[in-house]
Structure formats: structure tokens, C-alpha cells
Structure 1
Amino acid sequence: MTMPRRLFALLTMVLGLVAMAAFPASAQQGDPSFTLVNRSGQVINEIYVSPTREPNWGRDLLGQSTLADGRSFPVRIAPSAGCRQDVRVVYADGRPEERRNQDTCAISEMVFGGAAPRGPSAAPNAGGNPSFNLVNRGRSAIREIYVSSARDDNWGQDRLGQNTLPVGQHLPVQLPQGDCRNDIRIVWMDGRAEERRGVDTCALVNVVFP
């Protein structure tokens, strides 16, 4: 039986619309890469960019370099990472500045002016992301790492488990949102323990031992 031409044309149009709707969303998104511009009046020592859905910041994009005032840094992001990104910089004086849930597909530049925070919003315990990287810059591996809220009476479980943290490596420590004051304890391979109490981990990216 022959299909009428009008019906055939209608089916062809419907199938075309279905194919467009099924086209991968990633192919319809823009490029999340952008240029980070430093107009803060001081050097930026560290830059972190990660998808908003990720709980930790990942590696410092500057590595051993810094970003001088007035200079720019190209941030390359794979399209598969999506458009919504969190961005964090750390200035030479140690002060961090963050931009959360940024649609980087909609911009070509992100400018950091570095104005110091003012008013109640600057309070370190107002809530934020307490996750951080614990960095080993000692002379031996770290065999145990404990992190707990400063309000808790015990250390909880060893975050390394059966592993160790070699010299020069870091461990991403993921913590629940909002509880900024934390106690940190490490044990070196020779059994020496080192503690830091009441650390405001929302105000930093890296905790370096020793």
C-alpha cells in the first residue's frame, strides 16, 4: 500500500523535530572557558575553578606561577564540565575571594577587583564551603589524617584508611556545607602527631603541614 504524500511529509517533519529534541544538550551549550582578569591591585597566588556540582576545588590552576595585577589568565574548561562553575582566587595577603554558580558560557572575562569584604557578610563563620586540600610539605609521608568539627569531642575515622599521603601530595578533604570551624590532626610515619584547632576552613583552600 502506498503512503499518501501529505502523510509522508507530515511524518518526516515530526521525525525531524524528535531528532532535534534528542540532540545532546552538551552540543547545544556554549564554551565555558573564559579569561580571568586581575584588577585587584595585588598579586593573585592561586586560582581554582570547578563545576558547581563538585564538592571540592581541585588543583591550583596557577601551579608555581602567580598572576600580577593588570594581567589575565586563560581558564580552559571542557564543554562536558557544563556552564555553571565556581571560581576562587587567593590573593598574596592570603585573603580568598569566591564567585559561586557562575554561568561562564555567557561571559568571556571574569574580573576580580579584590575589594575587601565589609559588614556582617564578612564574618568567617557565616557559612560557606569548608572543604579544603590538606598538603604534605614535610620530610616524610603522613600515615593518618583526622578532621572533625571543633564542636565534636572525638576525631572520628582516619581519612587515609590503609593509604598514606606522600611528600608533595595533597588530600581533598570534603566536609558538609556551613560548618567552618574544624579541628585537624595528622600523624607522621614516625608516630609524631600534629594538631590545628578551630581552623576556619571556609576561609582557605589549602591547609599545609608542617
Structure 2
Amino acid sequence: MLFRRLVIAAAAVLAMGGLVPVAQAQTGDPSFNLVNRSNRVIYEAYASPSSDSNWGQDRLGQNIVPAGRNFVIRLPQGECIYDLRVVYDRQGGPPEERRNVNLCNLTEVVFDGRPQQGGQQRQAPQQGQTQGPRGNPSFNLVNQGQVVVMEVYASLATDQNWGPDRLGNDTVAPGATFPIRLPEGDCMYDMRFVYQNGQSQERRGVNLCDVTNVTVPLPQ
């Protein structure tokens, strides 16, 4: 009889718990790839939870990130919302900062050398200039050819270099599909595809926010 009462009481507690939602902070893996798209060297990089009052340690340690290169920042799993800061000039030049960035939703964070506060702020276009479309430029690469795709580059159409290979250590076999994740923001990209036979193809000025799949090989 006592055992039955305990079972009923436990069931009631579980039922009450199901009726009262518990608010929890988002958790996940905030590690990311730091991409330097400026024309300067990044000497220091800081990433701390937005709830912290200080920047903490330099995440680069003894490393630096030259212009056009990238560096993987490993962070402990748990909190997702971070503040970021990179230092280009050890003599006191202006740093570049991003605030309240949800790193669990990103694979890379791009720094272009323009000091700004907050991940959403951008420099206003100058008079006579137009600001390009903005959105989510991520896409699926679909290989409909007969040759393995070895490297994929996707960089903003305004950049002067291709940046990192978006496949990393992966390749895309004939008939396979590979998701290419790009940071939300500008939509206009240049792309370059390198095949196993040594040939390559390029496509310029593509609005990736308007497409879901990019099929290779590209039409001649």
C-alpha cells in the first residue's frame, strides 16, 4: 500500500513538471572558424560569454592570423551567446568587436578590419552607392558531373582573395551533395570550383540568397 502511494505521488510530481515549462539558456558547441578578410594581421582574438564582464584570455595564444587566412577557435560546449574582439595593431589601433553573437548557429565569423560594435551593425553606404542584397547565402553544392570536386571557394564579390577552401578536408563525389555554410549578411559572392582532374571553374557575382542548390560542373 505504501509503495503504491509513493508511485502515485511520483507520477503527480512528473505531471506537474510537464505542465510547468522550465526556461533554459541555449546550449551547444560555440567553437568557430575565425576568418581574417582584412588587409592586416590579427594578433589577438578574444571570445567570452556575453554574461562575463571581462574578455579573458587571448584565444590565439602564440599564433597570429595573417590577412586572408583563418584560425579555428575552440570553445567549451555550453553557452552560445558570446562577445568577440580582435586586435590588429599591438600599438593601440582600433580593435573590431562583435556583441551578442550566437556562435552555436555559426561555423565561421568573418572580420574585415572595420571597427564596429555588435554583429549586426554595418557601415552605411556612401552617397551615390547602393547597398547589395542581404540574407542567408548558404547553399547546397550538387555534383552532377563525373569528376570529384576537390576544393570550393566562395568569397564576397567585394573581396580581393578567395579565402579558405569551404570543403576543408572533405571532397564531393559525383552524384553527391555537400552543404556550404556561409555567414548571414551580404548575398553577392564569387565562387571557384577545383576538380580532381586539375581543371577549375569560376562564377562571378552570384546572388546566393536567391538559390538553394549550386550545380557543378558549371555550363560552359
| TM-score w.r.t. length of structure 1 | 0.43
Q: Which has the higher helix share?
A: 1
